[in-house]
């Protein structure tokens, strides 16, 4: 199979002079300035039979200057009526981007990959067999498509590769959090390559950006009985930065846009929250950083607010101001090397590169948890994001039902 790239309109007549048993023949092919032909030549004596087939070309949508996104689960992506409801949200409001689960907390894939090494990971419950076609539909509407990949929270991968799992210190069995979910050791390079394989696979079917989530050490379980076979006693923030760096190096030059989800507290904390996440250690390696600043997930009395969930504007404005300040700064504080504990650490400063403030793209809350979130609360968060000088946001609703009254109507 030989490929010819089309450079312009017209017809080219070519002559093949073949020696020996092949003899000589002629071939004809059309050029029309878009894509490639795949041409198969079958040669018999002096005849060359040509079969022309237009290659299925995958296109991508340019990243909007201001991304305004909603989230879609694997199950919804595979339910045509439900996913069409979310497409209508994008059609009728300011929403111009949709985030779709590629690999969710189960570790299984929501699409049918072409790569043999990924086929065993396809979900038997929530998947969209027509994902490639669905992405094309979104692109035809001008919708930017982001694929979400959970990274180190992955029970299915662990079931296939227990040697790469976080284990119990007491007996070497698979460690699980309070929800019964197992994790990959964040230093497993085999797991890193698995994640990268998924990233490139989905980009090749049309996803415009890959959003990495759960890029952290586990935290919600019996932390007194936990062991990391690969990470050992390495500093957690160094381990996670190693992963950031590896992803960046491997995907550089591919055209794949990347984003990283981080805990909301990274905007105000300078330690690694005991999970390995430090804002300044993520900034150099991704196109966008997405702090999950859901007001419901901040502890009581945070910044003096008895219940942070009741002050959505104030909380988002405060955390985004801090994130912007740290992103554009040329130096930053960090806790004393060798310590992961804020209370006993003394902040020091080190030089850093200054980044565009709009590298920050927050996840905002559009769900009820510890309070009622409706039009006023969702609008307040969006308004606070803009007030901090940012232009993009992503809405998280586990139900995939969004507060339409909080969104601007699309201008026709």
pLDDT in tens, 189-234: 999 999 999 999 999 999 999 999 999 999 999 999 999 999 999 9
Regarding whether 84 and 19 lie in a shared domain, the answer is no
Model pTM score: 0.85
Average pLDDT of every residue of the chain: 87
In a domain, 61, yes or no: no
Cα separations (Å) of 102 from 21, 184, 204, 252, 312? 51, 18, 13, 21, 30
Closest C-alpha among 230, 234, 263 to residue 340: 234
At residue 347, the pLDDT reads: 77
The predicted-structure confidence for 89-109, as pLDDT tens digits, reads as follows 999 999 999 999 999 999 999
Domain for residue 149, yes or no? yes
Residues 104, 183 share a domain: yes
27 shares its domain with 81? no
**201 and 118 Cβ atoms separated by less than 8 Å:** yes
Cβ atoms of 63 and 209 within 8 Å: the answer is: yes
**Cα-based angle 258, 264, 269 (whole degrees, multiple of 5):** 110
SS3 state of residue 261:
strand
Residue 292 lies in a domain: yes
- Structural domain of 323: 68-406
Q: Region 263-267: what's the mean pLDDT?
A: 98
The angle at the Cα of 244, spanning 110 to 179, to the nearest 5 degrees, equals 50
Residue 80 in contact with residue 404, Cβ under 8 Å?
Answer: no
Q: Is 82 within a domain?
A: yes
Total number of domains in the chain: 2
What is the C-alpha to C-alpha distance for residues 17 and 288, in angstroms, rounded to an integer? 54
Same domain, 369 and 221: yes
For residues 37 and 140, membership in a common domain is answered with no
What is the CATH classification number for the domain harbouring 361?
Answer: 3.20.20.80
Q: Which of 360, 239, 369, 392 is nearest to 291 (CA)?
A: 360
Q: What is the pLDDT of residues 28-70, one digit of tens each?
A: 223 333 333 333 333 333 333 333 334 578 999 999 999 999 9
């Amino acid at each position: 199979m030989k490929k010819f790239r089309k450079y312009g309109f017209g017809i080219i007549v070519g002559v093949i002079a073949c020696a020996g048993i092949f003899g000589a023949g002629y071939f004809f092919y059309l050029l029309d300035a878009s894509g490639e032909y795949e041409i198969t030549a079958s040669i018999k004596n002096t005849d060359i039979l040509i079969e022309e087939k237009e290659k299925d070309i995958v296109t991508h949508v340019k990243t909007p200057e201001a991304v305004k996104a909603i989230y879609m689960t694997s199950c919804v992506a595979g339910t045509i009526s439900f996913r069409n409801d979310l497409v209508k949200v994008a059609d009728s409001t300011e929403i111009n981007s949709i985030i779709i689960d590629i690999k969710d907390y189960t570790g299984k894939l929501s699409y049918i990959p072409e790569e043999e090494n990924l086929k065993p990971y396809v979900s038997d419950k929530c998947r969209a067999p027509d994902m490639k076609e669905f992405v094309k539909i979104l692109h035809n509407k001008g919708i930017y498509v982001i694929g979400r990949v959970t990274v180190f929270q992955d029970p299915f991968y662990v079931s296939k590769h227990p040697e790469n799992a976080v284990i119990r210190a007491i007996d070497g069995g698979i460690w699980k959090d309070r929800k019964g979910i197992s994790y990959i050791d964040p230093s497993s390079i085999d797991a890193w390559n698995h994640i990268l394989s998924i990233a490139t696979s989905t980009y090749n079917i049309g996803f415009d950006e890959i959003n990495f989530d759960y890029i952290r050490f586990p935290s919600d379980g019996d932390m007194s009985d936990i062991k990391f076979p690969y990470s050992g006693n390495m500093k957690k923030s160094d381990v996670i930065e190693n992963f950031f760096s590896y992803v960046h190096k491997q995907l550089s030059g591919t055209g794949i846009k990347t984003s990283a989800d981080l805990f909301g507290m990274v905007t105000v904390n300078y330690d690694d929250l005991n999970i390995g996440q430090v804002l300044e250690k993520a900034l150099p390696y991704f196109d966008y950083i997405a702090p999950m600043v859901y007001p419901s997930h901040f502890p009581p009395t945070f910044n003096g607010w008895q219940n942070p969930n009741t002050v959505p504007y104030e909380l988002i404005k405060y955390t985004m101001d801090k994130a912007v300040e740290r992103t554009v700064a040329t130096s930053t504080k960090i806790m004393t090397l060798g310590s992961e504990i804020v209370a006993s650490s003394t902040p020091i400063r080190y030089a850093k590169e200054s980044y565009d403030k709009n590298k920050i793209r927050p996840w905002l809350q559009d769900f009820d948890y510890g309070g009622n979130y409706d039009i006023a609360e969702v609008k307040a968060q969006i308004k606070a994001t803009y007030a901090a000088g940012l232009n993009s946001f992503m809405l998280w609703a586990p139900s995939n039902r969004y507060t339409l009254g909080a969104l601007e109507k699309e201008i026709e």
